[in-house]
Structure 1
Amino acid sequence: MADNKASRELIGNSRAMQMLKQRVERAARFDVAVLIEGETGTGKELVARALHYLSPRCDGPFVPVNCGALPESLIENEFFGHRRGAFTHAVGDSPGLLRLAQGGTLFLDEIDSLPPKGQVMLLRLLEEPVFRPLGADREQRFDIRMLAASNQPLELLAQQGRFRADLLFRLKLIDLRIPPLREREGDVDLLADHFMKSVAQRYHLQAGCLDAVARDWLHSHHWPGNVRELEHWVCRNLLLGETVDAALASPHGAGSSSGEHLRYREARIGALEAFDQRYLRELLGRHRGNITHAAREAGKERRALARLLKRYALDAASFRSGTS
């Protein structure tokens, strides 16, 4: 069993990421299907690559395929391949995904977008590892591990009849949930620093640095695009030659001259603090001082919210008694 760069790039020291890494390392040992679920931009393919390169199949191929890009009429050809003359434009033999991934791992991304015909085909493949290329006379056996990923809740889709429940059971022998960036306390700073170094190295630039204002902004942003959004933001601002602290602290990623930047920075600190206090007071008021419920609505870990309350000297107990 070999390691690989992909398995080491599951970057994060948060409790949520540490738990995920442990599950990935354990799941990699067992040659069974794994379902990876998580929001867009959380790094599902990175987790799939880690599962492959930490597994006994690490020397075999890793073949990713986006199910959303597969035309329904060509699904069988994409998976099974074809022999010369199987149809009008088949001027030669073509291996399908099953042959390309032989001995390794086939990663089916956006599995939720696989049409009904494809779902039936995949269920059959999971039950019996044989297939017949289009135009061939004989069936062939294959030896691959299948990993699937979705940014949609497959349990709900199955309940709605939009995804086969029997296929879901087959895929979900082991399931991994990737936490969104907003649930990964402390990882934003770690990832931002990592991306600044890697982007600077890739394009032969000088890496920027984040000041306190930029880090405050990073912590306050909701990151709907998760890790991918953070990486693209850092990359864009470094390539444009803007200072990372100014660019990340600005809603539009715009830099400014040093004098204007200082006045802007002071004004923004005040605005951020005013926003934080107003938001926290309203949040605690809605939940009558219950920090656990308030943290869930805010999308923050309980400890992180408690630190914010301490920073602004807000006593959750006073909101329970209605004195605040």
Structure 2
Amino acid sequence: MRERLDCALIATVCTNDWIRPWTGRHWCGRLYFHAPMPSIDISQHNASASLADSAMLLRRFDVCLLPVSEHSLAWARTSLLAARGRLETPVFALIDQLKAAALNDLYELGLHDFVRTPMCPEELRVRIERLLDEKKPALHAWPQPAVAQAQGVKEPTGPHHAGQAPDEATLCSTILERTGLELDAYAAASASRSATSRESFRAAKSKIIERFETAYIKAALGRHSGNIAMAARAAQKHRRAFWALMRKYDIDAAPYRSESPPKPFADG
């Protein structure tokens, strides 16, 4: 058993009332709750980047404690998504009235464990100790570009990927490998970001659909070496409809084709 555990409380404006009183030491001084960051206003458009931007600061702590309620669930999803590949400190959620489906989404996005409110410090300490002893790695890390290329998936290029974050580009390039929960979480995160901007519902919806269709078409072409007929068949779309989407987004199959066809096996 460790002499002392240091936990970083990631407080938000909407959870201050039930989080800030926990700051300090608990359980005979063996469990310390710190507030290393100002409270986050999740209504701000860049609030989801706070966790990722503080990755270096949070390396000082054994775990991060992320308060999550129904009101802050969308922010928690986008924050975990943005922090993938950058945040090394394990993340625990302090849950207030969340359903199982929401918890499953958070696990898919990298959450390590959770405790419900009212929180029991002794239970939390035991959970943290077990996690650190097991040295559990980050869950479901995004594939690196080299891994994606080894799997035959092309790197996303062109105007439709301009201005995207690295995690978003990686998601798009490996979209055929993603689970429904991961795609749902990304769609929810994109919708949440759009809802806090001045974009109309129609414009935000069109943008998300365009990104999905572009990423899917490119990934399908990459998997089938630029063969449009095979890519359309795998996507269960008529070849003409598949070709129409390629023209709509100005996608050329040529870059996805091998420079030379595979050599046939020699007899004997």
Q: Could you say whether these structures have the same fold, taking a TM-score greater than 0.5 normalized by the shorter chain as the test?
A: no
Q: TM-score, normalised by structure 1?
A: 0.24
Q: TM-score, normalised by structure 2?
A: 0.28
